[in-house]
Amino acid sequence: MTWRFLAVVAAALALAGPAAACAHPHTSLSFLEGQVMCPTCHTTLDQSDSQAAEQIKTYIAQRIAACWTAQRIETALVANYGQAILAEPSHSGFDLLAWWLPIAGVLGGALILALAVWRWSHGRDDEPPTTAASGLDEETERKLDDLLAEMD
Amino acid sequence: MTGRAKLIGQVAALACVAGLLALLVWKLTHQQHAPPVGSQAPMFSLPLLDPGPDPTGDDVSLSAFRGRGVVLNFWASWCIPCKSEAPVLEKYYLRYGRRVTFLGIDYHDLASDARTFVDAHGLKFPMLADGSGDVTSSYGISQVPETYVLNASGKIVAHLAGPISSSEFASAFRAALKEVS
């Protein structure tokens, strides 16, 4: 009876251990599932149920239970799998291009568009009117006037 | 818009399209394919899965085994067929290991889980860690297990794209081992 009681207590402690170790987790599995890639299927973990993805999810869950921060878990994963395990490129070195190039592209495009609109609007103001108010060019207008005069 | 500005815009647009086309061509021509049997095996250098007491030890290079037959077995602890393959591979290692070098390459795997796998299956041959999967990709592998057998000059004698424990590949693996041992 005593042995049975001790076995139940040991099992309960084993199950409750990780939770008791971290009463206030620093991050969540659902957050990191969107930040970490499945290395074999090239999608984020939340979109994959492959064996490799499940292994990483278990690893993350264990580390969250041990009170690790998201940053620490990501660092450990990068040490194991390389930088490609992260869904987002890092904020340093060559990877910075991935952050700044789209911004530069949008700004450059907006600048070109603004320049084109400015030139187009100013070009319209400066251009001398080539057509009369009726929408006919001067020569046609004159011929029409002559024709109407003859009819009168 | 002046004619000059229009020309510059057109040239810039053409340059963008040409750049994108060049990227596409580069991507298509640099896709990794399995090196064919008879070709030279891609060289690599990888750290040991279990570096032992000296974690700063040098990486293990394939070129160090030139002059001997080599078995390269790509596996992962999360791979289910690898579990049934492991004891068969160990059996072959015990039989041919004196004449042929066996190297396990652990692919896209957690090192801790991989070590548990090695211990659980009692695997004695050296295991290398390819966490990023770069070396495995250079062999055109997207699913494990796969095994390459190389001869003494580093040429590929056999490529078995599946577990060597299966009836499909067992005889081909034995024949390749006999050829390189």
Q: Alpha carbon of A151 to those of A87, A137, A139, A142, A144: distances in Å?
A: 81, 21, 18, 14, 11
Looking at chain B from residue 34 to 93, which residues have their Cβ under 8 Å from any Cβ of chain A? 76-80
Domain-embedded: residue B37: no
Domain-embedded: residue B39: no
From chain A, the residues in CB contact with B78 under 8 A are 51-52, 54-55
Same domain, B140 and B61: yes
SS3 label, residue B46:
strand
pLDDT value for A103: 92
In this complex, the residue of B77, B80, B132 whose CB is nearest that of residue A82 is B132
Residue B83 near residue B123 (C-beta atoms within 8 A):
no
From chain B, the residues in CB contact with A59 under 8 A are 110, 113
Q: How many domains does chain B have?
A: 2
Q: What is the largest CA-CA distance in chain A?
A: 129
Same domain, B22 and B82: no
pLDDT value for B57: 66
Give every CB contact of residue A119 below 8 A, 6+ residues apart in sequence: B1, B5
In terms of residue numbers, what domain contains B4?
Answer: 1-31
Residues of chain A with CATH 1.10.8: 2-88
Query: Does the interface predicted TM-score (ipTM) exceed 0.85?
Result: no
pLDDT value for A8: 44
Please tell me if residue B5 touches chain A, with a CB cutoff of 8 Å: yes
Domain-embedded: residue B104: yes
Q: What is the pLDDT along chain A (152 residues), one digit of tens a residue?
A: 455 545 544 544 454 444 456 889 999 999 999 999 999 998 999 999 999 999 999 999 999 999 999 999 999 999 999 999 999 987 778 888 888 888 999 999 999 899 889 888 887 666 665 555 667 788 888 888 888 888 87
Q: What is the pLDDT along chain B (181 residues), one digit of tens a residue?
A: 567 777 887 888 899 899 899 988 888 777 778 999 999 999 999 999 988 766 566 799 999 999 999 999 999 999 999 999 999 999 999 999 999 999 999 999 999 999 999 999 999 999 999 999 999 999 999 889 999 999 999 999 999 999 999 988 999 999 999 999 8
Same domain, B67 and B12: no
What span, in angstroms and rounded, lies between the C-alpha atoms of B111 and B113? Answer: 6
Residue B173 near residue B147 (C-beta atoms within 8 A):
yes
Full DSSP string of B60-99: EEGGGGTTSEEEEEEE-TT-HHHHHHHHHHHHHHHHHTTT
Our measurement of the distance from residue B50's CA atom to the centroid of its chain's CA atoms, rounded to an integer in Å, reads 18
From chain A, the residues in CB contact with B16 under 8 A are none
Looking up tokens 């070709």 gives: B39
Same domain, B21 and B53: no
From chain B, the residues in CB contact with A45 under 8 A are none
Strands B146-150 and B69-75: antiparallel
Q: Alpha carbon of B116 to those of A60, A81, B82: distances in Å?
A: 18, 18, 14
- Identify the CATH number of the domain in which residue B103 sits: 3.40.30.10
- Rg of chain B over Cα atoms, rounded to whole angstroms, equals 22
pLDDT value for B52: 73
| Cβ separation B109–A112 shorter than 8 A | no
Same domain, B25 and B106: no
From chain A, the residues in CB contact with B111 under 8 A are 80
Same domain, B12 and B101: no
Q: Which fold has domain A2-88?
A: Helicase, Ruva Protein; domain 3 (1.10.8)
Domain-embedded: residue B40: no
pLDDT value for B127: 97
Same domain, B55 and B26: no
Helices (H) and strands (E) in chain B, counts: 5, 7
Give every CB contact of residue A80 below 8 A, 6+ residues apart in sequence: B110, B111, B131
| Cβ separation A82–B131 shorter than 8 A | yes
Please tell me if residue B6 touches chain A, with a CB cutoff of 8 Å: no
Domain-embedded: residue B151: yes
In this complex, the residue of B1, B108, B110 whose CB is nearest that of residue A116 is B1
Same domain, B12 and B92: no
